[in-house]
Structure 1
Amino acid sequence: MAREFSRLDRVAEQIQKELAQLIQRELKDPRLGMVTVNSVKVSKDLSYADVYVTVLNLKDVEDDGDASKASLKVLESAAGFLRSELGRAIKLRVMPQLRFHYDASVSNAQRLGALIQKARAKDSSASDSSDDSHN
């Protein structure tokens, strides 16, 4: 009988949960925006954990690129501290090295949603004008 989740999936889920709490409670850098840990992917040998995050910087909501780069630098510089804290919280023989990546899926979804809204508005205005010309 196959397991529902592999060990790597369980480790990744636990790292994601603990890391989100650590970032929220322990990191007090003012350059760090509101960070959401979207997913964690752990290598098969548990040597690396790729952490995918999104960042909402309340100061620069419209300037998302610079805010996310600054927040990623803060996270990368705190990776050693976060790894040691994870080692205390999660009992693993080897704690993976953390590699942080910006997850653009949320911003891409927002951009696509805006494009769809724009296209629907254009279609509805075109259908309204064609209805007027038929009458």
Structure 2
Amino acid sequence: MSTSNRPERVGQEIQAAMGRMLTRGELKDPRIGYITITGVKVSPDLKTARIYYSMMGSEQERKETHKGLEAAKGFIRRQITEAVNMRVSPEVFFTFDESLERGDRIERLLREVKEKEGG
């Protein structure tokens, strides 16, 4: 078996496991808002996983959600290790994914330009 795409496959499984946790309401911290897991990057040695998430809301709501995710890190690690059937529990890092927000902002700007041009 080739190990070159294993981190990618494990990342997809972690993303699915996180999605299931969120859908089932397993993360009980009230600070965690409605988030979407946009991707997971796993290191080649499978020891670290960077989980990218996105959400709508104010900067304060984002900070609170990040604090909630950090507080739930141990629980999330255990759940991921069990769901993905890994021997070693990966260190988990959460990163806010700004790409959706940036795309929305670009879309709004393009619409404004079109309206100003009378299109």
Q: Which residue of 1 aligns with 2:30?
A: 30
Find the aligned partners of 1:77 and 1:50 in 2 and give their Cα distance.
16
Deviations 1:26-54 (A, max 9, x none): 11222211010000000111111000001
Matched, 1:95 2:89: yes
- How many residues of Structure 1 are paired with residues of Structure 2 in the alignment? 116
- Is there any run of 5+ residues in structure 1 with no aligned partner, and where? 126-135
Question: Over alpha carbons, which structure has the higher Rg?
Answer: 1
Partners in 1 of 2:11 and 2:89 — Cα distance? 11
d(CA) in 1 for partners of 2:60 and 2:31?
A: 11
**Larger relative contact order (Cα-Cα within 8 Å, sequence gap ≥ 6):** 2
Q: List, as ranges, runs of 4+ consecutive aligned residues in structure 1 with deviation greater than 4 Å.
A: none
Question: Are 1:83 and 2:77 matched, yes or no?
Answer: yes
Sequence identity percentage: 34
RMSD, matched Cα: 1.6
- TM-score, normalised to structure 1's length? 0.79
- Asked if the contact 1:55/1:71 (under 8 Å) is kept, the reply is no
